Amino acid sequence: MNDDAVIATNDDASECKRNAVQLGYWKDNYISHLIKHGKRRAPEINRGYYARVKGVEKVIHKFLQRVGDKAQIINLGSGYDTLYWRLMDENISIANFIEIDFPSVTARKCYLIKRNKHLLEKVYTQDGEVKLSATDMHAGSYHCLGVDLRNTAELEEKLQQAECDYNAPTLFIAECVLVYIENNCVDRLMKFIAGKFPNALFVNYEMCNMNDTFGDVMMENLRARGCNLAGIASCKNLETQQQNRFGNNNWSGSKAWDMVNVYYSFPAGEREKIERIEFLDEQELLIQLFQHYCICIGWMGDTFDGLFIEDA
Ligand SMILES: C[S@@+](CC[C@H](N)C(=O)[O-])C[C@H]1O[C@@H](n2cnc3c(N)ncnc32)[C@H](O)[C@@H]1O
């Protein structure tokens, strides 16, 4: 597998997010400190990113409402995600916040945080101690760790260094990540999490319904960039998402929605506001795009049973 091409997907996602933020789709005061330029994309792509970011955010907020300040968040394949900083701006306190990505991505992120006062001031602990290595950062409750998610032994070691509390209510986030990992490695990762975290919620955003012409074109575009979608077999439909990611890997339960459902579960006023940002002449294309991505959640224990995005 070509890890460099997978790593480059972080730049692409960050540039697209920066562009959408610049256009006013949502607020993020930090993305521009992590990625220099935005990438101009078609209006349907920007709306797709809006639905992705807001959909995942809705699950995060439901999780936080349920568990309060005992919350632990572990963001897998976090790239340049700015969630930690956005939550800090909302005065939401998180007991432990851990970001994980390939070492070359976290090394760059740690360097950027260290050099930027807006990013650094939010991770400073009261005693001002920030522990840094070439690829990792430990700063109070914020941790950024360089690990290949295919290596669960190293993952466990790194989680230990981040003072991970296995019994805390823990939210795992994987936003467009698992599709780049071979299915046997995802199985190992998901079983590892299920075995260690009795009180966990997992939110997974990735492709679905890939068994049609539109799916073929999406795959071709990614493959043309040298990116092997090693986990694509689990993205056949919503059932394979639930079964392959959670059902087969000892999770207590799961639920999945395609992004059409997610988008139309947002309040009408919220949708109308962002639909005014850019004119869309091909509604059909947006719907097709939404049909090919989903949010799938899985849970361990009964704390998160019934924590759903409302069906449209
Ligand atoms: C499409 S980007 C998404 C980044 C971020 N989650 C977001 O949505 O903005 C995929 C991320 O997954 C990371 N990733 C993929 N496979 C990985 C692995 N085996 N170990 C660690 N990180 C991985 C990549 O380096 C990249 O940062």
Question: What is the domain-level CATH number for residue 119?
Answer: 3.40.50.150
Containing domain of residue 118, as a range?
Answer: 3-299
Q: Does residue 308 belong to any structural domain of this protein? A: no
- Atom 23 of ligand 1 has which residue's CA nearest to it? 77
**What pLDDT does 310 receive?**
63
Q: Which atom of ligand 1 is nearest to the CA of 149?
A: 20
**What pLDDT does 223 receive?**
84
Query: Could you tell me the distance, in angstroms and rounded to a whole number, from the CA of residue 220 to the centre of ligand 1?
Result: 19
Q: Does residue 207 belong to any structural domain of this protein? A: yes
Place of tokens 């260094």: 161
Query: Could you tell me the distance, in angstroms and rounded to a whole number, from the CA of residue 11 to the centre of ligand 1?
Result: 10
**What pLDDT does 309 receive?**
66
Q: Does residue 239 belong to any structural domain of this protein? A: yes
Q: Which residues of the chain have pLDDT under 50?
A: 311-312
Report whether residue 77 contacts ligand 1, using a CB cutoff of 6 Å: yes
Report whether residue 148 contacts ligand 1, using a CB cutoff of 6 Å: yes
Say if CB 176 and CB 208 are below 8 A apart.
Answer: no
Q: Does residue 304 belong to any structural domain of this protein? A: no
Q: Does residue 310 belong to any structural domain of this protein? A: no
Q: Does residue 311 belong to any structural domain of this protein? A: no
**What pLDDT does 126 receive?**
61
- Atom 13 of ligand 1 has which residue's CA nearest to it? 77
* Helix 268-275 / helix 43-67 crossing angle, nearest 10 deg: 150
**What pLDDT does 305 receive?**
80
Structurally, the chain folds into a number of domains equal to 1
Q: Does residue 48 belong to any structural domain of this protein? A: yes
CA separation for the pair 154, 158 (Å, rounded): 6
Query: Could you tell me the distance, in angstroms and rounded to a whole number, from the CA of residue 279 to the centre of ligand 1?
Result: 31
Report whether residue 70 contacts ligand 1, using a CB cutoff of 6 Å: no
Q: Does residue 27 belong to any structural domain of this protein? A: yes
**What pLDDT does 224 receive?**
86
